[in-house]
Amino acid sequence: MRIERIEQHQAFGGQQLKYRHHSDSLHCSMTFSLYLPKPSASPTSLIWWLSGLTCTDDNFSQKGAFQKYASQENVAFLIPDTSPRGELPDDEAWDLGQGAGFYVNATCEPWKQNYQMYDYLVNELPEIVYDLIPNYSGKESIMGHSMGGHGALIVGLKQPERFSAISAFAPILNPSNVPWGKKAFTAYLGTDETTWKTWDATELLQKVGEIHPPILLTQGTADPFYAVQLNETAFLANVKDTDEQVRYEKKEGYDHSYFTIATFIEEHLAFHCQQFHK
């Protein structure tokens, strides 16, 4: 598979890189960003970052303020795009189609040929990226924001043996019951809501019980999407009383922006590194 490096920037002794490649899963050209920390004799672990609606791989790499801490902790960051791109199915609305892949495998026309984001993340992209990380430890975890928080949770909960930790900022926790999720799931998966459950973190948490990686969730109280799209009630209702692996934290006055992410990214990175070192 041909991979083209299209950007390279030095940051905190490491390298912020951007690549382009053809995806067999999505049948289109895709980009992803990869941060490699400064060279170290110690093995390097990997954190995945999944971005939210309308984002590309550039948003977090340019505004996430993670590179300093990642370099200090010897952690690489992989930032995929949020959806397929190019001359392929799209929608006029900003919350469906390109920029809004929801990290599922679509089963409905016109989306199903290209919108196989789960397979792309879980099967195709790792085979490319692992070889790009010098002295890779084999340890990985996953985090995300908003739609990407939903993505991080479903990927991590579906593969609990693979990921050391899961974290998210302002995640869509119960997409089957909020407008963003209902719209996307109806388009990508169809009107049979029973098929939605395998892509809903609230349903997956109930299914796996306490057999999941540690989870850290951060939600700002001033987030304008919180009440309608991001409410945690149903998700936390499925956290068993004996499950000490889920932390849900509200941050007073913080909103849905990358200012919130930049403020608390060090806390999230420390959470992931704690799991890597166990």
Could you read off the pLDDT of 162-217 as tens digits, one per residue? 999 999 999 999 999 999 999 999 999 999 999 999 999 999 998 888 789 999 99
d(CA 239, CA 199): 17
**Tokens 């952690």 sit on residue:** 75
pLDDT at 1: 61
| Cβ atoms of 66 and 117 closer than 8 Å | no
Identify whether 256 is a catalytic site residue: yes
Catalytic residue among 61, 71, 141, 146: 146
pLDDT at 240: 85
Identify whether 277 is a catalytic site residue: no
pLDDT at 106: 98
pLDDT at 5: 97
- Between CA 142 and CA 103, with CA 109 as vertex, the angle to 5 degrees is 5
pLDDT at 184: 98
pLDDT at 88: 95
| Domains contained in the chain, CATH given | 3-276 (3.40.50.1820)
d(CA 78, CA 10): 16
Catalytic residue among 212, 256, 268, 272: 256
pLDDT at 263: 98
Catalytic residue among 57, 81, 200, 223: 223
Where b means 16+ CB within 10 Å and e means fewer, 57-93 reads bebbbeebbbbbbbbbbbbbbbbbbbbbbeebbbbee
Residues in the chain with pLDDT values less than 70: 1
Identify whether 223 is a catalytic site residue: yes
d(CA 220, CA 170): 7
